[in-house]
Amino acid sequence: MADVARLAGVSSQTVSRVANGLSNVETATRERVLSAMGTVGYFPNSAARALKTGRFKSIGVIMFTLSSFGNMRTLDAIATASAQAGYSITLIPVTLPTQGAVAGAFNRLSEQAVDGVVIIIEAHVLDRADITVPPGLPVVIIDSDAGSRYAVVDTDQATGPREATQHLLDLGHRTVWHVAGPDGSYSAWRRTESWRATLADAGIEAPPVLVGDWSTESGYQHGVTLRERDDVTAVFAANDQMALGIMRAMHEVGRDIPASFSIVGFDDTEESGSFWPPLTTIRQHFGEVGRLCIEKLLHEIDTMTNEIGTTIVPTELIVRKSTGPVPA
């Protein structure tokens, strides 16, 4: 910067004004500074700027694993929305979902060069008294029940499973089995509860829950169990990957879908419509979640307020070919 100032024959102050696009610089001076910047190859040093202004123009994202369809889509939307607002994204990965690892990530948060944080950790960790977000740091949480203490953006996890279950009941199935997400996942828990409530409303006792881990493989394992039973005609899987695994198990023994077996998934991934048969599922709007998230967070950052409360993003039932009337 000093070089630029010397070359342009102005003070470093004026250079700063030009760099920030302030108006009170004469056009001729501005030109001179700009060209000096060019020849010197000047770029503002973000550390110095951040030190002075206290703003980093960056948003931190805490997440366990990127390798889940939903997280990735959400992150994509977050990155896009942030970029539009001139913020970059700092990834703060938490390798292990252990208590210590999460606490560590939260503690390191304060020394991170970020103006605010989005937390995508599908677990009840924020309920723990020993894990707290540093005070004064704007935060938005995705898929959490912490709406009473933080700003939360959440997908509606109740309506979708209800629609899925009801859709199957309407087709004449006597009951609907459920392959759930892992213990400890808040989303998984709510999908299970909604499925159970829907059956209860229909006066049906819920069959035992089969607990998976979101993976295709765990879906397949449960599918192998389910295919042995003639009385299982309909399943609601807590995500599309497990649904895919279940369908594979059915195909292996020649059980036709949907003639002898119906299944509904959850997520609606890019591929779900091309599974065989194309999967009936609940579409989540991950992009919308990410967008709203950043909108909220930027507002918090600008106003330095804490926007407590939950924003709900709805889902949609997408009926394809994996569901049909109960077999005769």
Is 309 a binding residue for a second copy by CB under 8 A? The answer is no
Provide the CA 195 distance to its chain's centre, in angstroms: 22
* Shorter beta-carbon distance to DNA: residue 26 or 231: 26
Q: From the CB of 103, what's the least distance to a second copy, in Å? A: 15
53 versus 67: smaller Cβ distance to DNA = 53
Q: Quick check: 320 binds DNA (CB under 7 A)? A: no
Beta-carbon contacts of residue 24 (< 8 Å; ≥ 6 apart)? 17
Binding of DNA by 38 (CB under 7 A)? no
User: CB of residue 247 vs a second copy: minimum separation in angstroms?
Assistant: 7
51 binds DNA (CB under 7 A): yes
Q: Taking CB under 7 A as the rule, does residue 9 contact DNA?
A: yes
**With CB under 7 A as the contact rule, which of the stretches 16-24, 125-133, 173-181, 292-300 interacts with DNA?**
16-24
Least spacing, CB of residue 25 vs DNA, in Å: 4
Contact status, residue 294 vs residue 173, Cβ threshold 8 Å: no
Pick the binder of DNA from 48, 83, 85, 96 (CB under 7 A).
48
Phi, psi torsion values for 144, nearest 5 degrees: -145, 165
Query: Considering only CA atoms, which of 44, 42, 15, 43 is closest in space to residue 29?
Result: 15
Which residues, numbered 76-95, are part of the site for a second copy (CB under 8 A)?
76, 79-80, 83, 88-93, 95
Q: Pick from a second copy, DNA, none: which does 16 bind, CB < 5 to 8 A by kind?
A: DNA
Contact string 259-288 vs a second copy (x = CB under 8 A): -----------xx-xxxxxx----------
271/302 with CB nearer a second copy: 271
CB closer to a second copy out of 44 and 314: 44
Query: What part of residues 127-156 is at the interface with a second copy (CB under 8 A)?
Result: 134
Nearest distance, CB of residue 135 and DNA, angstroms: 16
Q: Residue by residue, what is the 3-state secondary structure of the chain? A: CHHHHHHHCCCHHHHHHHHCCCCCCCHHHHHHHHHHHHHHCCCCCHHHHHHHHCCCCEEEEEECCCCCHHHHHHHHHHHHHHHHCCCEEEEEECCCCCHHHHHHHHHHHCCCCCCEEEEECCCHHHHCCCCCCCCCCCEEEECCCHHHCCEEEEECCCHHHHHHHHHHHHCCCCCCEEEECCCCCHHHHHHHHHHHHHHHHCCCCCCCCEECCCCHHHHHHHHHHHHCCCCCCEEEECCHHHHHHHHHHHHHCCCCCCCCCEEEEEECCCCHHHCCCCCEEEECCHHHHHHHHHHHHHHHHHHCCCCCEEEEECCEEECCCCCCCCCC
- Quick check: 51 binds a second copy (CB under 8 A)? yes
Question: Using the rule CB under 8 A, is 106 a contact of a second copy?
Answer: no
Residue 244 interacting entry, from DNA, a second copy, none, C-beta within 5 to 8 Å by type: a second copy
State yes or no: residue 49 binds DNA (CB under 7 A): yes
Partner touching 11 among a second copy, DNA, none, CB below 5 to 8 Å by kind: DNA
Give the phi and the psi of residue 276 in degrees, each rounded to 5.
-120, 115
Residues that bind DNA (CB under 7 A): 1-2, 9-17, 19-20, 23-26, 28-30, 42-45, 48-49, 51-53
Residues that bind a second copy (CB under 8 A): 43-48, 50-51, 56, 58, 65-67, 72-73, 75-76, 79-80, 83, 88-93, 95, 110-113, 134, 215-217, 219-220, 241, 244-245, 247-248, 251, 270-271, 273-278
